[in-house]
């Protein structure tokens, strides 16, 4: 319990994998964060309703390479990700508690262009997509028309983790 002046106050909340030592979390791993603004009433017990957004440390992706046929037909490759925190716990990120450090997917084509796009939640979005919720889906759509030597490289990164996964295809 902490005493605060009445009125609008900002709250920063962080969860760690270690208990504080001497009031400090030095050396502890950050697991979740949130910032909220709430009106504090005078001389009453105020309840703070918060949602803690999980901090992604790894994506736990099982596959890093896929081969898609250049047969003139459209192919979709779904990225399977399971974001985890510093202690390898799967993170659930909903509407009110999106990932604290959302995943940015970046597609680069070599040996040709315009044959592939990222597909976020079923909609083509081009070369960049941001995944903020557990329910978001990400795929690569390839038109199957790339010439010999055509490849794509999709990197997945989060703030604080420049590169947490890389996918190549075909």
Partner 1 sequence: MTIAGPPATNTSSKARTPKFISPSTNGVLIDASAHGSTTVIASSATDVSSGSIACGGQTGYPRPAAS
Binding site for partner 1 (CB under 8 A): 1-5, 7-20, 23-25, 28-29, 31-32, 37, 48, 50-54, 85-87, 89-94, 96-97
The smaller minimum CB distance to partner 1, of residues 4 and 108, is found at: 4
In angstroms, the CA 109 to CA 151 distance is: 6
The smaller minimum CB distance to partner 1, of residues 12 and 65, is found at: 12
> The tokens of 97 are what?
């508690």
Q: Are 168 and 65 in contact (CB under 8 A)?
A: yes
Q: Which residues sit opposite 65 in a β-bridge?
A: 168
The smaller minimum CB distance to partner 1, of residues 24 and 114, is found at: 24
Compute the least distance from the CB of residue 107 to partner 1, in Å.
Answer: 28
Compute the least distance from the CB of residue 30 to partner 1, in Å.
Answer: 9
The smaller minimum CB distance to partner 1, of residues 18 and 108, is found at: 18
Q: Which residues contact 104 (CB under 8 A, 6 or more apart)?
A: 128, 129, 130, 131, 156, 157, 158
């Amino acid at each position: 319990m902490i005493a605060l002046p009445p009125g609008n106050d900002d709250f920063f909340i962080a969860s760690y994998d270690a208990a504080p030592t001497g009031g400090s979390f030095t050396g502890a791993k950050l697991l979740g964060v949130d910032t909220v603004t709430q009106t504090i009433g005078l001389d009453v017990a105020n309840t703070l309703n918060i949602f803690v957004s999980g901090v992604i440390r790894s994506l736990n992706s099982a596959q890093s390479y896929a081969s898609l046929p250049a047969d003139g037909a459209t192919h979709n490759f779904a990225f399977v990700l399971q974001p985890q925190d510093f202690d390898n716990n799967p993170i659930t990120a909903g509407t009110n508690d999106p990932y604290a450090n959302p995943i940015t997917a970046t597609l680069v084509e070599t040996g040709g262009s315009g044959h592939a796009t990222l597909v976020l939640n079923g909609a083509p979005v081009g070369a960049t997509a941001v995944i903020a919720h557990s329910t978001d889906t990400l795929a690569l759509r390839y038109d199957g028309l790339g010439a010999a030597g055509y490849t794509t490289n999709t990197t997945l990164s989060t703030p604080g983790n420049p590169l947490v996964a890389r996918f190549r295809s075909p």
